Amino acid sequence: MNKKNKDDNSPIQEEKLENIKEIGTVNIPEVKNNIQFISIIGEIEGHTISPNDKKATKYEHIIPLLIAAQQDPKIEGIFIILNTVGGDVEAGLALSELINSVDKPKVSLVLGGGHSIGVPLATSTDYSFIVPTATMTIHPIRTTGLVIGVPQTFRYFQKMQQRIINFILRTSEIDDKTLNELMYSTDEIANDVGTILVGEEAVKYKLIDEVGGFSRALKKLDTMIEDKNK
């Protein structure tokens, strides 16, 4: 009769099981040893802490994962899974730039939504996917609350908006004219400007590369890794 491994009920094992049970845990169990899976879910939290009743991804949790993936020779590719409503613009753009600067094959998959600052996060990888029912909202930067120094704040927003536009243009096939038309459309969203793209529409406008689910995205990443290792 086989003896039970003495480590099966160790505190470390129990902690791992608790992490798996906990929704939104950072310690996601590894599925493939050579691929780093990173999920960006809910609101992207930046310098300001999100309310307790909101699902949020802290950007300071994602940065170490990306740095470790870049430095670890066993990690050959990065798979970004997105279902985000947007959030902190500077934090989202910082993550987008960091993902884009990692020199290993990278694939993104938009599940549910890739809204607002989630758009550059989706385009930051080498190849992007979106499931047929997922949506992406493209709109100008918004703010809430008191604004002091309106002209100065407006100029700052203009510069920030241009940084986002430039990044999307650099990391996708969409052209400047089309992106601005989608961003400032007035007949798509009630009481606001912007455009909502659903699945195939994001591919039609060359914002996302392909419609597909998890298995297709994973196969694409495997192929990119194989091509790089040839």
56-98 pLDDT, tens per residue? 677 778 888 899 999 999 999 999 999 987 777 888 888 899 9
Tens digit of each residue's pLDDT (9 = 90 or more) over 130-153: 999 999 988 776 654 444 444 555
- Record the pTM: 0.76
Tens digit of each residue's pLDDT (9 = 90 or more) over 37-65: 988 888 776 666 656 666 667 777 888 88
**Catalytic site residue 116?**
yes
Spatial distance between the Cα atoms of 150 and 158, rounded to a whole number of angstroms = 12
pLDDT at 168 over 50: yes
**Catalytic site residue 108?**
no
Q: What is the mean pLDDT of residues 192-212?
A: 90
- pLDDT score at 84: 83
To 10 degrees, the CA torsion angle through 191, 192, 193, 198?
Answer: -90
Q: Which of 39, 96, 116, 128 is catalytic?
A: 116
Q: Which of 115, 124, 139, 172 is catalytic?
A: 139
Spatial distance between the Cα atoms of 141 and 34, rounded to a whole number of angstroms = 37
Question: Which H or E run includes 42?
Answer: strand 35-45
The angle subtended at Cα 44 by Cα 156 and Cα 195, nearest 5°, is 70
Spatial distance between the Cα atoms of 19 and 8, rounded to a whole number of angstroms = 16
The domain segmentation of the chain, as residue ranges, is 34-229
Q: What is the mean pLDDT of the chain?
A: 79
- pLDDT score at 195: 85
pLDDT at 27 over 70: no
Spatial distance between the Cα atoms of 147 and 17, rounded to a whole number of angstroms = 47
Point out the least confidently predicted range of 65-69, 157-161, 171-175, 197-201: 157-161
Which CATH superfamily, name and number, covers 34-229?
A: 2-enoyl-CoA Hydratase; Chain A, domain 1 (3.90.226.10)
Residue in the structure block whose two tokens are 């400032």: 184
Which among 153, 152, 174 is positioned nearest to 164, based on CA atoms? 174
